[in-house]
Amino acid sequence: MKAKVLLSLVLLCGGLAAPLARAGDAASTPATTSPTTAAPATSPVPAACELPSYLLSSESQLPKVADAVKAGKPLDILVIGSRSTTIPSSESSSYPARMEAILKEKLPPSEVVHVSVEIQSKKTAEETASTFVKLMEAKTPTLVIWQTGTVDAIRSIDPDEFRSAVTDGVVALQKAGADVVLMNLQYSPRTETMISAQPFLDNMRVVAQEHDIPLFDRFSIMRQWNDQGQFDLFSPSRGPELAKQVHDCLGRSLAQFVIDAARLEPAQQQN
């Protein structure tokens, strides 16, 4: 009951940062979507997207991504997450679509890039990880970006159990032959007092270090934008426009993060 009430409060506050995309997982069934249709044209990096370099750096690498680009093979990326992965009214503006557009811009014209989304609504890390074997049998992505932690934090799942579930999920994805990037929770000043995020953030970092995989620190990135005044994540007044702007910045940041973690040389990128 407590978890249901908290989930309702999170949704009432706008799904972790207002319409940034319904982190409370509004849908009740998994869905697979492709954000590739009619993606908006890329543009110069907006000032609002700027970040300190340490937030986009990783000592861990993405060797399978690097090998695919070097060999000129298609780069298939699967984003596994909740409804915060999407903007229901504008899928082409969601961060996976923006990431795909930026990767196509930055990588050689001959490189085929495809990003798809697997929505695992209202599922904990354990529940999501249990689907990975069949999911990876059905798909053969080069890279999986696993966005998780919000539902576990809302439901107050034991942090040790959460870490074990994330570990199991990472192992399953790696056994299936994919590179893995973990993406942690959204940051929202509107729900800070309702969700104890830190244990989940810490445990995701531990799993990433133990398995030598990159962690895209979405929580710290969004907090940076809010604290520096680049985005006002407390105010719900700007609605879908704010969602599009933040998703655009997340997509740009994630694309650069993937390129850097793959250690792609300038010759393997667009000039």
Q: Which band of pLDDT confidence, cut at 50, 70 and 90, is reported for residue 65?
A: very high
Higher pLDDT, 33 or 159: 159
Whether pLDDT at 156 is above 80 = yes
Q: Are 62 and 256 in contact (CB under 8 A)?
A: no
If you write DSSP's letter for every residue of 71-132 in order, what string do you get?
Answer: TT--EEEEEEE-GGG--TT-GGGSHHHHHHHHHHHHS-TT--EEEEEEE-TT--HHHHHTTH
State the DSSP code for 141: -
φ and ψ at residue 141, rounded to 5 degrees:
-70, 150
Residue 42's pLDDT is: 46
Whether pLDDT at 251 is above 80 = yes
Residue 114's pLDDT is: 97
Q: Could you give the percent of the chain with pLDDT greater than 70?
A: 79
Q: Which band of pLDDT confidence, cut at 50, 70 and 90, is reported for residue 270?
A: low
Q: Are 90 and 240 in contact (CB under 8 A)?
A: yes
Residue 17's pLDDT is: 39
Whether pLDDT at 154 is above 50 = yes
Q: Residue 99 belongs to a domain with what CATH number?
A: 3.40.50.1110
Higher pLDDT, 5 or 199: 199
Residue 190's pLDDT is: 79
Whether pLDDT at 27 is above 60 = no
Work out the angle at residue 152's Cα, subtended by the Cα atoms of residues 150 and 155, and round it to the nearest 5 degrees: 110
Higher pLDDT, 252 or 90: 252
φ and ψ at residue 200, rounded to 5 degrees:
-80, -40
Cα separation, 154 vs 10, in Å, equals: 8
- Alpha carbon 190 to chain centroid, angstroms: 20
Residue 148's pLDDT is: 97
Residue 242's pLDDT is: 83
Question: Which of 38-47, 53-62, 221-230 is most confident?
Answer: 53-62
Q: Are 177 and 64 in contact (CB under 8 A)?
A: yes
Containing domain of residue 144, as a range? 2-268
Average pLDDT over residues 20-39: 41
Work out how many domains the chain is built from and give that number.
1
Rg (CA), the chain: 17
Whether pLDDT at 101 is above 60 = yes
Amino acid at residue number 164: S
Whether pLDDT at 89 is above 90 = no
Whether pLDDT at 64 is above 70 = yes
Average pLDDT over residues 120-132: 96
Residue 124's pLDDT is: 97
Q: Which of 118-127, 186-195, 242-251 has the lowest mean pLDDT?
A: 186-195
